[in-house]
Amino acid sequence: MMLWSLAVTAQKKSDPKIIGKAKFLMTEVNFNNLPANKPYVGLIMFINVSKEPLTILEINNECSCFTASPREKVIYPNEKGIITYKVDNPPKGSIRKKSFIRFKEMKEPVGIVVRGRFI
């Protein structure tokens, strides 16, 4: 049985951020001051504020030190989308990398910062 620790995620500002057709409740995943060599999960949540479905085409990460996967690939108007970020057994040290979410209905990808400090 694999056990995952849930990391608290936070954005520096408490205001939601509208990017294109989505309102992101957070644009940063923080894994700060956590013990190294344990798996962690963080979440990014957003709401489709358009009148059409949003389709996640792909998520590109700057490094293989974490993975990102959407719970649903199609998010309907006024529904929440959730993307799960996983860090598997990170070594001691710090990371600060970006993840880019590409939506079919938006020209530019949405940038998410993934940072952590493992002790």
| DSSP code string of 74-119 | EE-TT-EEEEEEEE-SPPSEEEEEEEEEEETT-SSPEEEEEEEEE-
DSSP state of 8: P
Share of the chain above pLDDT 70, in %: 87
25-67 per-position pLDDT tens digit: 989 999 999 999 999 999 999 999 999 999 999 999 999 999 9
